[in-house]
Amino acid sequence: MAHKHYTSGFTLIELMIALTLGLLIVASGLAAFLSSSRSLGLQSGMSELQQNANFGLSLVAHDLRHTNLNTVSAQKINNFVNGSGIIFKKENLPLALQTITNLETELVSLQDRDTDNTTGKSDRITIQYTPETESIINCEGATVGTAVAPASNLVIVQRYYLAASPQQITGEPTAYSLYCDAGSYPKSAPTAIAGLGVHGSNNAQQMMQRVDAFKIRLGVKNPSGQFRYMTINEYIDEMDDIRDACATPIVEDTCAKTYLQVTSMEVGILSRSTGTIGADASLNTQTTFDVAGKDNVTLAGDAAVNKRYLRQAVNQVVAIRNTLGASQ
């Protein structure tokens, strides 16, 4: 009689258990991989955002440190003195330039002037200085000055503002960039600021892309040496009150002793990431930021779209070295 031989193997239940355990292991590994990928993407986006914002703002800060260098303001910066390193009003320019078209509505420092990606508006800052050297490269990347006509005989004017970028991508928030528009006028007998113009009529250089807001705050010192920060409008309003309180007829040398002098600037930008953050968008809930001391800068537009992008407010204080020693 023949004997039956049985071979060992898996039962159906054992096979099902093995398959289930295998699927659980694969699923947990996949979940860990996806989580790591999202984390890496988030960290890469934040790193890119910080590098771009800090690098771009450092370029602006470098330029702003030239403010008031070698001007005729006797190291003072205010909205009444000719040659003030920050141009607030026509009085800060030579008499021959005070009739320039759109001067006080476009070309000077202005608060809440430009549309941006927030519920408010962005500021503008316009500076002037005279270089020490024969030749410089202005914020537009253009060389100014030659051996025959040195830059040290010119007053350089640079205006920083926010405007919509030329290229827009459907489905993204409106892309704004920080621009710098540069011009100059001769120190003697000026008739115009060559190269400076309103939007669309100049060669302004795009300095930073994807900037949702640009804000300026002024560091101001009173005659007693006390220091505080003020917005552009707060400063102009208070200076107008001080001027109105001066005895009439106004003796400029006497009245100027009561002025508030600007000694620094706080520059703030709200920068947006280039790429989206995918599934982590649901965690990206911040909509209000502190930009240059203004703590209620709030995003506008589609909230769901805004959540797809990382944002960071970067602020930097720029001490104006060419006014710190000014006497009252």
- Give the largest CA-CA distance in the chain: 137
- Supply the range of the domain harboring residue 122: 21-323
7 within a domain of the structure (yes/no): no
| Spatial contact of 155 and 71, defined as CB atoms under 8 Å apart | yes
| Spatial contact of 273 and 49, defined as CB atoms under 8 Å apart | yes
For residue 101, what pLDDT band results from cuts at 50, 70 and 90? very high
d(CA 327, CA 193): 29
The runs of H, that is alpha helices, within 156-231 are none
| Spatial contact of 165 and 206, defined as CB atoms under 8 Å apart | yes
170 within a domain of the structure (yes/no): yes
Residue type, 68: N
Q: Supply the pTM of this predicted model.
A: 0.84
| Spatial contact of 240 and 246, defined as CB atoms under 8 Å apart | no
pLDDT at 155: 97
65 compared with 30, residue with greater pLDDT: 65
d(CA 120, CA 113): 9
For residue 27, what pLDDT band results from cuts at 50, 70 and 90? confident
118 within a domain of the structure (yes/no): yes
9 within a domain of the structure (yes/no): no
81 within a domain of the structure (yes/no): yes
276 within a domain of the structure (yes/no): yes
Q: How many residues does the chain have?
A: 328
328 compared with 270, residue with greater pLDDT: 270
Give the total number of structural domains in the chain: 1
- Which of 96-110, 147-161, 266-280 is the least confident region? 266-280
Model confidence at 1: pLDDT above 60? no
Residue type, 273: S
d(CA 226, CA 316): 21
4 within a domain of the structure (yes/no): no
Tens digit of each residue's pLDDT (9 = 90 or more) over 167-213 = 899 989 999 999 999 999 999 999 999 999 865 556 899 999 999 99
157 within a domain of the structure (yes/no): yes
Return the SS3 of 228. Answer: strand
Average pLDDT, the chain: 87
Report angle CA 38, 42, 48 to the nearest 5 degrees.
140
pLDDT at 8: 62
Handedness of CA 172, 176, 177, 178 (dihedral sign): negative
| Spatial contact of 129 and 70, defined as CB atoms under 8 Å apart | yes
pLDDT at 121: 97
